[in-house]
Amino acid sequence: MTTTTSTPGIPAQAGAPAPPSLADTAPKLLSLIAGYVGHRTVAMGLRAGLLRQLADRPGGSPDDLADALGLDPVYVAVWCRAAFGAGVLERTGGGYRLADHMATLLLDDGSPAFVGGVFGVCEAPEMFGRFEASLASGERMWWEDTSPDWIAAVAGTGTPFYTRLVPGGLERVPGLAERLTAGCTVVDTACGSGVGAIRLATTYPRCAVVGVDGDAHSIDRARDRVAAAGVDDRVTLVHSALEDMAVEDVALDEPAALVVNNISMHECRDIDRVTENVRAVLEPGGWFVISDFPFPDTDEGLRSVPGRIMSGIQFFEAQIDDQLLPRAAYDDLLGRHGFTDLGTAQLTPMHALTWGRRT
């Protein structure tokens, strides 16, 4: 964007573009307000089951929807109009249906395109409410200070990252897929509620999987999930900060062939120590794959839609005393710890992989 400065009474430099008019500028703010309305509408529709009901019974009228869900028909009609305005619903005679692909994007948590989880994250008090309340004090927190609802919402956001990573993303890493199919030990560092550990164990039935996380509540949730998925014979869960992760704590019978980290590397207090610990648990030639948000490193990127969403995530990250990192920071990290065969893949505008092999 070109900017010009002008002082009242002194004409702008000849040839400089005219500054935008008030009428040009107002729509920027109005589109922010419209986005907020759309966001609240979608989040409400997810929580109240309105979107799920319309996916299961397309064409329902607001009265049908209200009846089925035990909601007020006038309020449901208001919601339907707003969701139509946001482009989330289409009209069908007297009723509504989900617009094309909305069921996948908003409701199918098994899809690599799922974004439904992000709405819950953005509305949670941990994201903006607590940030604003702490704006003067700058008081920080850690994962144990967050609510179970927050941990569940984060798992919903992390799930499509794992879906893209396993197996598609890992197949982009030369030589890795064969090793995983043959069977080996895999460590998911900062495994959270266990979604990735289960995905790894079910996708690679010959592999043993270790999940490590520093948050006790997340490890408890992971234990429940792993047991429910019936893979507890091949998944070991360890409660430990990654900065303290030692080979013996991770209880490996053999060095790991693969260590992954999904949307968490930027959170580590000491990423150099963590990378050293990852090196120590890897076999020679073993891979470290970092799957993370690539925070924009240009002004243009920051003003893109993905950049603006990632800027939103930074409100939470700041409160736990970190920030998302530009992807290239991981090239530097792996390089300074002697990893070789570095590679990268952009899976979506908000998801990139960086990998390297232990020498």
Ligand X SMILES: C[S@@+](CC[C@H](N)C(=O)[O-])C[C@H]1O[C@@H](n2cnc3c(N)ncnc32)[C@H](O)[C@@H]1O
Chain residues that interact with ligand X, rule: CB under 6 A: 143, 154-155, 158, 161, 190-192, 195-196, 213-215, 218, 241-243, 262-264, 267-269
- What is the 3-class SS of 173-241, one letter each residue? CCCHHHHHHHCCEEEEECCCCCHHHHHHHHHCCCCEEEEEECCHHHHHHHHHHHHHCCCCCCEEEEECC
Residue closest to 44 by CA, chosen among 82, 11, 13, 96: 82
Nearer to ligand X, 88 or 258 (CB): 258
Q: Nearest distance from residue 54's CB to ligand X, in Å?
A: 28
What is the residue type of 313? I
Burial of 223 (C-beta count, 10 Å sphere; 0-12/13-18/19+): middle
Nearer to ligand X, 82 or 260 (CB): 260
Nearer to ligand X, 123 or 213 (CB): 213
Q: What is the DSSP letter of 245?
A: -
Nearer to ligand X, 126 or 267 (CB): 267
Q: Which residues pair with 213 in a beta bridge?
A: 239
Q: Nearest distance from residue 263's CB to ligand X, in Å?
A: 5
Cα–Cα distance, 280 to 285 (Å, whole number): 12
- Confirm if 186 and 250 have CB atoms less than 8 A apart: no
- Confirm if 317 and 323 have CB atoms less than 8 A apart: yes
Nearer to ligand X, 64 or 292 (CB): 292
Per DSSP, the three-state class of 140 is coil
Q: Nearest distance from residue 245's CB to ligand X, in Å?
A: 8
Q: Nearest distance from residue 286's CB to ligand X, in Å?
A: 19
Q: Nearest distance from residue 57's CB to ligand X, in Å?
A: 31
Q: Nearest distance from residue 152's CB to ligand X, in Å?
A: 10
Residue closest to 102 by CA, chosen among 91, 118, 113: 113
Nearer to ligand X, 194 or 296 (CB): 194
Q: Nearest distance from residue 167's CB to ligand X, in Å?
A: 16
Nearer to ligand X, 82 or 165 (CB): 165
Residue closest to 84 by CA, chosen among 33, 38, 119: 38
Cα–Cα distance, 331 to 220 (Å, whole number): 33
